[in-house]
């Protein structure tokens, strides 16, 4: 047996190296380390918790569905087929999960310096008890170890949910979803809190690939006439209530290409909707319609209390060769420059001063943190700043977020952490990483005498627990 | 009496935590700590120094006029009325200053991590002798302590001016101002140097809310025919000379929405002015006119020697609900993406190579520091780089400024610090903060052997004192 | 003799100050310090290595051709004439190189905090054995010392090439170049590897100042009819092969104002070319043509294996007063905001998924590192990320590069370091600086337990040597 490098994530990992700062950071971290996890925005599958079946083999769990991993290997020449990513055209893809795992192990070094590496190391060591660093020579042995663990009852979804200390977790569903899994969870009597979030892009974005198909279905399930603007709005209102009642939803989520908003007179909005449903709308009108729908969603939120999340600026499924073969969201998504101050004005003029409304803004364009997002959220009562998102949900990204947002936006216009993931085993890793980076930032403020020690402890708990609970009304 | 947290700003605050770096930073800081303050750009009220009357109560001094503070509290749901911000519609606003102070104390934690907190702590402790951290339980006691201090003769404006070590301070006036306070200061025989700065936006920006009213007045007080382009320019030249002669002005200041400049042939400029005065100009023409006026101002500066400050990129008074009730500049201002290299070309083609002209560029768009501002100022003899401005006038903001500007722009194309404030008690705090951050940056260069120790001491003095004096011709 | 400050670059320079981090950084640095230099992109003159003549006097070597130096002095009011920059109009310029050197020494402090200062200190001390810091009082003595050294045989180009440990260096030539110097080097039997790179802007950019003159010449030397689209493409293909065969080229280089690409049907491209050659093309068509040519170049690279470098976003020779008197590229070049994700889509749709093609992207707009460049290169097999470029080729710039690129792009989509210079004496200084900054970054990851120590050593060698060799196919 080859002697392999040990896998032993250091207890001080991610804390600043300066000894005095690290000592403060460690104390802060220990004070929040074991707080419950609140995961208000994510993409886990509610059927896991409804059905509580074992997770699959290591490759199917960790590699095949993880776009962070397969995009990096693809960028270095590994075909997606060899990583087992399913083809929508039914063509060959690797199904031998052990081979997929070996291919991954050969390329494990590509993840050096990335958050994926830290998440995996955490999952392997802290959750699954692996003590060697993955390499080509131990790939099979580690595969077997993980595979054996995953079959044990303490690795069933509900057991892990409890072991991870999850107090509440949100999934994401579109308005047509019947929420059967959420209902099943509730009916099962299990105490885990799993709520849905209302993500209506498929019926509010005319350029969404499912819009034409899903809009009539929205009418059917609500009994509303979605041929009319009023019927369409009524249908959306009904589904929001359904999500609140049957899925425990406390939030909506909107993933638009830009932050553009509109606040048209209702007659104009109705006319625009008319062109949308009759398929006569231009790209510009589709953009205006999405913008109008953000304002309509804010209006509904004032009534029903759902917290609004706006995630603009991602260009999705941009590589036709990949999308055509493997489908949407296969690592060919990226940010684009995003403007907020002019784009949000119509919405903010209408609802920015509402004290009972919460709109959480996210960005993939870090140049907007200090220039736009923090100044806006440091003024409007309705606005809060979502955590570092997607490509920036990483140690350096989170550090830049705090450094660029805090001085104008303060800590109290932020809303804690989102893991934003379907990779269930990474959830405790991601929250742990976030707590470590935040405590490192706070420790620097304390070490530089910019924040008092007792205040840093209070803020650390706010960032890890209190703010997310308050912002998402949990 | 409740035991409160002590208020005791640490002597090493804001210096880097690494012990070797901190030791260097401390030495550098001690070498510049007591240099006189030169404040070449700010918004203090010259009547304070002319009349030398006591400052008002703590709330009226520290809360009601401070947009940094009330915007943060407003963003968290505190109505501006409860903070005593006066309503332009005459509606109710809190006038019990003790109640306003209590409301502030209840929300003091919102300022954690912001520069406002550091400025206040400095003012409370270093200037006013407060030794407890403000909290809801000691709010009244601290109110009383501050209030009592403010009534003492050593807290009169001129006494503080001297205690703060101010060598020179600039106020900002518009061209219609008669500079009576500056004249009164001069006539009083008091030795404090208070000069004005010439800020003509109200008569050079057709979209300025006072443009239509103020333009004829400019004609009246100068005896020039502002109905003509030549008369208009002559009127501006006269007021510049008036500001130099009666207000000691050495600089102008221009707060435009963008950095756009034009250098039109004079006939075209005259025709454009014709459309402006006859109110027929479009938004595009207003933008062109502002751009033309920057070049005209540069042309006049070549003649009369006034240093030109360009502050582009702020969108001001953007929240109609707030502006409508409370008026302009009530925390609803923010940056927008700003382009410089193309925008400034007409001006720079005309005057960028002038050795006797100084144009100081500011930005609210930090992405331009390394990309545009430093490269431009590292070439054109006329250009200098203004310090980190407004939202970025903070420890992290100033650090980013030095990190992103120095390598291409050098230290010697920067111009020292601007406090840019009407909050008189924050002036020594702000200069102290700036000196600490700059010394921290220099100390890192020394500790990393990127700058020799003796050179760092020379640069520290240049950044704190020599460069501002030279750049602003003081 | 005046006692001057010593010049003694510290062995730990540029390494992080924290003692633990520095100790790790030092070990990493020592492990890569003496690796051979591979310089795959630069602007040295191949005649130096062909003819092996002595370098000129200190001013002609270090000041007159260095735009980093003369732009900084010019920005502070030193006329370019006094620095000996030749005038294209034949007007007076200083020719007394000792006077030029003195003028430089008087202004040496302006370079504090800039990379030029570190490069010069290295060249003076490590290469030329100077032990005093340059100052006005020792300027003549140091001039004499350097001048004497430069006349010695061990300072001839080939001797320095070997002393610097250069394994391979690329020059840059345009397609019309006959590569006589490269042929002469080969013919001489000298073992130094000097290869050319194919930079066709003068015949692919219709707005290049030499386009109209050089296009017919391209036809003449290739015997192709460049009046037709097919003939033009054939001519380019021939010259690429000529560069490969006679100049050892492994790469092309494209310096466009934007990253815009096109992939027109060939008939449309031919028609566009027709308008270009007949001088009827608009600015928009010139932009489309440049964009089309990037895709054509990629197509040719798939065939002939040349690695493609895209350097967009520089606005060049922007100051008419300087360009008119001194010619192109006299320090009046700067970045502009640059967009990549939409701009590159046509090219990437066509060739982004090619495993055998390498396209190296550079940027002068640092806001694109984490937002666009890393996400793109972390997906497309054909894309790699070029190192921090030009204004950002500096300690802070390189640090930002690693911090912003690594987490999404990884280390293995980067391609080592480019010195990108014609300042031969700065080459070892620049590579040394890059290795130090990279090792400092890696040391921080190790100290923060984000990367294992053994992995950091492997990555350090990859960044300094292996990646550049692989990416540029050397």
Residue A471 parent element (H or E): helix A467-471
Interior CA angle at A25 toward A21 and A30, to 5°? 155
Q: CA–CA separation, C133 vs B171, rounded Å?
A: 43
Q: Give the architecture-level CATH label for domain C19-53+156-471.
A: Alpha-Beta Barrel (3.20)
Contacts of B341 in chain C (CB under 8 A): 315, 318, 334-336
Per-residue pLDDT band for C2 (boundaries 50, 70, 90) equals: low
| Residue A461 predicted with pLDDT over 50 | yes
The residue among A347, A239, A355 whose CA lies nearest residue A295 is A347
Give the pLDDT score at C280.
Answer: 85
Q: CA–CA separation, C314 vs C318, rounded Å?
A: 10
Instruction: Say if B162 is an interface residue toward chain C (CB within 8 Å).
Output: no
pLDDT tens, position by position, B34-44? 999 999 999 99
Cβ of C450 within 8 Å of Cβ of A331? The answer is no
Q: What CATH number has the domain spanning A19-54+156-471?
A: 3.20.20.140
The residue among B170, B116, B161 whose CA lies nearest residue B360 is B170
| Residue C3 predicted with pLDDT over 70 | no
Length in residues, chain C:
474
| Residue B305 predicted with pLDDT over 70 | yes
Strand partners, A334: A315
Neighbours of chain C (3+ CB pairs under 8 A): A, B
Number of A/B CB contacts below 8 angstroms equals: 131
Q: Where in chain C is the domain with CATH 3.20.20.140?
A: 19-53+156-471
- Written as six digits, the tokens of A199 are 């993500």
Q: CA–CA separation, B333 vs C239, rounded Å?
A: 57
**A166-170 and B359-361 beta bridge pairing:** unpaired
pLDDT tens, position by position, B59-105? 999 999 999 999 999 999 999 999 999 999 899 999 999 999 999 99
Cβ of A113 within 8 Å of Cβ of C451? The answer is yes
Q: Where in chain A is the domain with CATH 1.10.2020.10?
A: 55-155
Strand partners, B360: B309, B384
Cβ of A5 within 8 Å of Cβ of C339? The answer is no
Number of A/C CB contacts below 8 angstroms equals: 131
- Shortest distance between the Cα of C222 and any Cα of chain B, in A, equals 39
Cβ of A367 within 8 Å of Cβ of C371? The answer is yes
Instruction: Say if B14 is an interface residue toward chain A (CB within 8 Å).
Output: yes
Give the pLDDT score at B322.
Answer: 97
Q: CA–CA separation, B135 vs B105, rounded Å?
A: 5
Interior CA angle at A430 toward A424 and A432, to 5°? 120
Cβ of A367 within 8 Å of Cβ of B366? The answer is yes
Per-residue pLDDT band for A3 (boundaries 50, 70, 90) equals: low
- Shortest distance between the Cα of C232 and any Cα of chain A, in A, equals 30
Q: Where in chain B is the domain with CATH 3.20.20.140?
A: 19-54+155-471
Q: Where in chain C is the domain with CATH 1.10.2020.10?
A: 54-155
Q: CA–CA separation, A403 vs A113, rounded Å?
A: 21
| Residue A2 predicted with pLDDT over 60 | no
Mutation for C interface: A7, A9, A72, A113, most C CBs within 10 A:
A113
Across all residues in chain B, what is the average pLDDT?
A: 97
Mutation for B interface: C334, C393, C439, C441, most B CBs within 10 A:
C334
- Shortest distance between the Cα of C314 and any Cα of chain A, in A, equals 19
Measure Cα distances from B211 to B205, B326, B425 in Å: 7, 21, 32
Q: Edge-to-edge strands of the sheet including A251-254?
A: A251-254, A307-310, A359-361, A383-385
Cβ of C345 within 8 Å of Cβ of A72? The answer is no
Q: CA–CA separation, A195 vs A189, rounded Å?
A: 15
Looking at domain B55-154, its CATH class is: mainly alpha
Cβ of C72 within 8 Å of Cβ of B407? The answer is no
Q: Which of residues 73-92 of C touch B (CB under 8 A)?
A: 74-77
pLDDT tens, position by position, A173-196? 999 999 999 999 999 999 999 999
Q: Where in chain A is the domain with CATH 3.20.20.140?
A: 19-54+156-471
Average pLDDT over residues B7-25: 97
Give the pLDDT score at B4.
Answer: 80
Residue of A nearest to C458 (CA): A109
Across all residues in chain A, what is the average pLDDT?
A: 97
Residue A283 parent element (H or E): helix A283-304
Cβ of A455 within 8 Å of Cβ of B321? The answer is no
Average pLDDT over residues B303-315: 98
Q: Give the architecture-level CATH label for domain A55-155.
A: Orthogonal Bundle (1.10)
| Residue B2 predicted with pLDDT over 60 | no
Residues C346 and C295 sit within 8 Å (Cβ to Cβ): yes
Cβ of C410 within 8 Å of Cβ of A72? The answer is yes
Contacts of A348 in chain B (CB under 8 A): 319
| Residue carrying structure tokens 């391209």 | C218
Measure Cα distances from B20 to B16, B24, B442, C442 in Å: 9, 7, 13, 21
CB atoms within 10 A of CB B55: 19
Cβ of C379 within 8 Å of Cβ of A336? The answer is no
Q: CA–CA separation, C166 vs C161, rounded Å?
A: 6
CB atoms within 10 A of CB C237: 17
Average pLDDT over residues C268-284: 95
| Residue carrying structure tokens 């105490």 | A191
Candidates C21, C342, C452; nearest CB to A17: C21
A151: helix, coil or strand? coil
Give the pLDDT score at C1.
Answer: 47
Q: What CATH number has the domain spanning C54-155?
A: 1.10.2020.10
Contacts of A315 in chain C (CB under 8 A): 341-342
Contacts of C375 in chain A (CB under 8 A): 333-335, 391
pLDDT tens, position by position, C140-164? 999 999 999 999 999 999 999 999 9
Mutation for B interface: C7, C15, C17, C82, most B CBs within 10 A:
C17
Give the pLDDT score at C362.
Answer: 98
Instruction: Say if C10 is an interface residue toward chain A (CB within 8 Å).
Output: no
pLDDT tens, position by position, B260-294? 999 999 999 999 999 999 988 899 999 999 999 99
Cβ of B370 within 8 Å of Cβ of C366? The answer is yes
Q: Edge-to-edge strands of the sheet including C194-195?
A: C37-39, C166-170, C194-195
- Written as six digits, the tokens of C422 are 């014609």
The CATH H-level superfamily of B19-54+155-471 is Metal-dependent hydrolases (3.20.20.140)
Cβ of C332 within 8 Å of Cβ of B406? The answer is no
Q: CA–CA separation, B454 vs B446, rounded Å?
A: 9
C232: exposed, middle or buried (C-beta count within 10 Å: 0-12, 13-18, 19+)?
A: buried
Across all residues in chain C, what is the average pLDDT?
A: 97
Number of B/C CB contacts below 8 angstroms equals: 131
3-state secondary structure A390-444: HHHCCHHHHHHHHHHHHHHHCCCCECCCCCCCCCHHHHHHHHHHHHHHHHHHHHH
Measure Cα distances from B326 to A354, B65, B85, B200, B322 in Å: 17, 12, 7, 24, 6
Contacts of B111 in chain A (CB under 8 A): 410
Give the pLDDT score at B3.
Answer: 64
Cβ of A18 within 8 Å of Cβ of B18? The answer is yes
Average pLDDT over residues A323-352: 97
Contacts of A75 in chain C (CB under 8 A): 377-381, 383, 410, 413
Cβ of A341 within 8 Å of Cβ of B318? The answer is yes
pLDDT tens, position by position, C52-81? 999 999 999 999 999 999 999 999 999 999
pLDDT tens, position by position, C356-392? 999 999 999 999 999 999 999 999 999 999 999 999 9
C109: helix, coil or strand? helix
DSSP state of B41: S
């Amino acid at each position: 047996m080859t002697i392999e490098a040990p896998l032993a994530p250091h207890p001080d990992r991610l804390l600043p190296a300066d000894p005095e700062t690290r000592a403060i950071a460690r104390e802060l971290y220990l004070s929040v380390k074991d707080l419950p996890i609140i995961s208000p925005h994510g993409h886990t599958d509610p059927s896991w918790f409804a059905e509580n079946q074992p997770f699959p083999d290591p490759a199917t769990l960790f590699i095949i569905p993880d776009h962070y991993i397969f995009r990096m290997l693809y960028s270095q020449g590994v075909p997606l087929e060899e990583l087992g990513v399913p083809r929508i055209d039914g063509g060959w893809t690797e199904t031998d999960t052990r081979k997929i795992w070996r291919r991954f192990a050969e390329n494990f070094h590509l993840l050096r310096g990335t958050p994926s590496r830290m998440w995996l190391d955490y999952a392997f060591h802290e959750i699954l008890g692996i003590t060697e660093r993955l390499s080509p020579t131990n790939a099979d042995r580690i595969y077997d170890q993980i595979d054996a663990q995953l079959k044990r009852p303490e690795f069933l979804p509900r057991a892990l949910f409890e072991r991870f200390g999850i107090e509440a977790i949100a999934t994401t569903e579109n308005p047509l979803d019947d929420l059967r899994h959420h209902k099943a969870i509730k009916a099962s009597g299990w105490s885990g809190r799993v709520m849905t979030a209302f993500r209506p892009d498929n019926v509010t974005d005319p350029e969404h690939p499912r819009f034409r198909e899903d809009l009539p279905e929205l009418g059917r399930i609500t009994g509303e006439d979605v041929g009319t603007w009023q019927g369409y709005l009524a249908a959306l209102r009904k589904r929001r209530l359904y999500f609140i009642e049957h899925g425990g939803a406390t939030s909506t989520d909107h993933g638009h290409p830009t932050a553009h908003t509109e606040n048209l007179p209702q007659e104009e909005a109705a006319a625009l909707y008319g062109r949308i449903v009759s398929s006569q709308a231009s790209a510009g009108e589709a953009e205006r319609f999405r913008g109008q729908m953000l304002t309509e969603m804010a209006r509904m939120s004032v009534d029903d209390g759902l917290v609004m999340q706006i995630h603009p600026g991602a260009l999705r499924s941009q590589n036709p060769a990949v999308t055509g073969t493997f489908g949407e969201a296969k690592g060919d998504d990226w940010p684009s420059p995003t403007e907020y101050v002019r784009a949000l004005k119509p919405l903010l003029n209408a609802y920015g001063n509402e004290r009972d409304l919460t709109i959480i803004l996210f960005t993939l364009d870090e140049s907007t943190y200090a220039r736009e997002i923090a100044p806006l959220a440091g003024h409007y009562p309705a606005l809060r700043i979502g955590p570092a998102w997607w490509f920036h949900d990483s140690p350096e990204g989170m550090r830049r977020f705090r450094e660029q947002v805090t001085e104008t936006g303060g800590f109290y216009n932020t809303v804690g952490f989102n893991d934003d993931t379907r990779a269930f085993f990474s959830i405790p890793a991601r929250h742990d990483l976030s707590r470590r980076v935040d405590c490192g930032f706070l420790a620097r403020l304390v070490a530089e005498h910019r924040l008092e020690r007792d205040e840093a402890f209070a803020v650390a708990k706010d960032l890890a627990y209190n703010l997310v609970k308050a912002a998402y009304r949990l």
